[in-house]
């Protein structure tokens, strides 16, 4: 019987294996055997200022959380259905994700309900200590393993499979779940690369074939000895169909249609959620993503906003107020630094170039939007502008805005639709030439 094998995060050069990455929408339900080695390289990340830990935020965080939940649901559903899943353990590490507006601790094995082998430790020499019926295939496989984590607490290990050479730690285990089998095994070192010589490529293909053969053997050894006789193709003819069989098949088709409709609804809602959460980018984003969040926030305040780029002059934001004021805006985010003079000089140059090009009747004022120390909670941030930046703002009379302050006021306006408060915020901005805008505080806070 041909086995359908899906490999997530592990790129194996073999025709029997369908490979995909962690962020893929590929369903595991198509597989008889699953290989899984978590790799988050497909998600954009940065580092926390103080801890230097990896941090995922915005769309990457949303997608990582969603993908992790989906993998967990599918893995345990497959185990309940009697499938075999091999998890290859890369180094265990924790990081931060943005969830419901707050950074929370996460780790690279959250797709598992329990991860007992989680102490970082590197090595190659391992010893098989699992069930004897699995010894032969695992003795062949172990040459492809390099362990990157282990456990010294044998009491929490379901069924040990491999231990270190001297027996001080467990590096592989088997967890029987329902009718299925979950293997936690050392990391695999036979992934496909682009830099093989022809001879190395041939050896690599042979190694991959051997590896998959032994994986299939392990799956077969764990299967019940009795397997239902497969139906011949001619039995699908209408003359052999049973009344209840047809009804069940129709029900299955209905459920499949409902699932597809629900998946489409889920995708639409998820996209709406990302759109609704865009203003949170004022607190942690930089670059084009921060620019989009600022643009949306200014629209909430009642401004009309456009980008400008004619090939020779590029401006982040051209802003017009209902009161007839025009502003040129530049945007800057910094991971762990205050905003310096670089963007200030660009802002001054853009104002002059824009005025020369369009010969505007009224004054054009500059605004520098800043999201300094963006990975630190707003109430823990120190001064977001350097002293030189503050001095230049005062000298050239351009406005400084902290995007975290902007978030506070637009959140209130969205909650209350208080148009008078929007006007007060525009007045505060207009009267802040040469300094940081101090937005008004609402008299009451929306529940």
| pLDDT of 349 | 92
pLDDT of residue 81: 87
The verdict on domain 5-225 having CATH code 3.40.50 is: yes
CATH architecture label of 278-430: 3-Layer(aba) Sandwich (3.40)
* The token pair that represents 104 in the structure block: 């929370």
As a whole number of angstroms, the distance between CA 347 and CA 335 comes to 21
Q: Identify whether the C-beta of residue 410 lies closer than 8 Å to the C-beta of residue 294.
A: no
Each domain of the chain, given as residue ranges in start order, spans 5-225, 237-273, 278-430
Question: Is the sign of the CA dihedral 138, 139, 142, 143 positive or negative?
Answer: negative
Q: Are strands 314-320 and 170-177 parallel, antiparallel or unpaired?
A: unpaired
Q: Which tokens belong to 308?
A: 């400008």
Residue 17, both tokens: 């294996």
Closest CA to 18 of 5, 32, 33: 5
- The pLDDT assigned to 1 comes to 57
CA distances from 336 to 58, 331, 384 (A): 18, 16, 10
User: Could you report the average pLDDT of every consecutive run of 10 residues in the chain (447 residues)?
Assistant: 86 89 89 92 75 81 91 91 93 87 87 87 93 94 93 87 91 89 91 60 84 94 66 80 84 89 87 84 90 94 92 91 95 91 90 88 92 91 93 94 95 93 96 95 58
CA pair distance 303, 155, nearest whole angstrom: 63
């Amino acid at each position: 019987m041909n086995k359908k094998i899906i490999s997530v995060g592990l790129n194996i050069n073999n025709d029997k294996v369908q490979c995909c990455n962690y962020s893929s929408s590929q369903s595991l339900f198509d597989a008889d055997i699953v290989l899984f080695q978590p790799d988050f390289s497909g998600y954009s990340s940065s580092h926390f200022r103080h801890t230097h830990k990896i941090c995922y935020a915005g769309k990457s965080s949303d997608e990582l959380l969603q993908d992790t939940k989906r993998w967990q649901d599918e893995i345990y559903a497959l185990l309940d259905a009697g499938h075999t899943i091999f998890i290859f353990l890369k180094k265990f590490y924790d990081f931060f994700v943005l969830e419901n507006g707050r950074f929370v601790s996460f780790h690279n094995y959250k797709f598992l309900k329990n991860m007992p082998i989680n102490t970082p430790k590197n090595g190659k020499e391992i010893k098989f200590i699992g069930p004897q019926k699995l010894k032969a295939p695992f003795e062949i496989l172990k040459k492809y393993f390099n362990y990157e984590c282990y456990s010294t607490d044998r009491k929490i290990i379901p069924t040990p499979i491999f231990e270190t050479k001297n027996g001080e730690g467990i590096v592989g285990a088997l967890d029987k779940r329902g009718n299925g089998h979950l293997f936690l095994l050392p990391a695999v070192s036979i992934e496909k690369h682009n830099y093989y010589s022809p001879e190395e490529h041939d050896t690599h293909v042979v190694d991959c074939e051997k590896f998959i053969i032994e994986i299939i053997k392990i799956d077969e050894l764990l299967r019940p000895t009795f397997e239902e006789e497969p139906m011949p193709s001619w039995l699908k003819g209408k003359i052999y169909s049973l009344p209840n069989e047809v009804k069940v098949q129709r029900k299955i088709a209905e459920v499949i249609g409902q699932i597809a409709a629900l998946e489409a609804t889920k995708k639409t809602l998820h996209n709406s959620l990302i759109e609704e959460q865009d203003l949170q980018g004022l607190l942690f984003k930089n670059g084009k993503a921060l620019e989009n969040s600022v643009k949306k926030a200014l629209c909430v305040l009642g401004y009309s906003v456009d980008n400008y780029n004619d090939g020779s002059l590029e401006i982040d934001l051209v802003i017009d107020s209902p009161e007839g004021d025009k502003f040129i805006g530049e945007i800057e985010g910094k991971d762990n630094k205050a905003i310096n003079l670089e963007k200030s000089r660009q802002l001054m140059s853009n104002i002059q170039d824009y005025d020369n090009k369009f010969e505007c009747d009224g004054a054009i004022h500059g605004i520098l939007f800043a999201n300094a120390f963006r990975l630190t909670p707003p109430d823990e941030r120190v001064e977001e502008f350097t002293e030189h930046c503050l001095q230049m703002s005062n000298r050239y009379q351009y406005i400084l805005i902290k995007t975290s302050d902007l978030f506070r006021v637009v959140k209130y306006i969205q909650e209350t639709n208080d148009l008078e408060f929007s006007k007060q915020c525009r007045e505060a901005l207009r009267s802040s030439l040469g300094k940081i805008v101090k937005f008004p505080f609402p008299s009451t806070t929306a529940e």
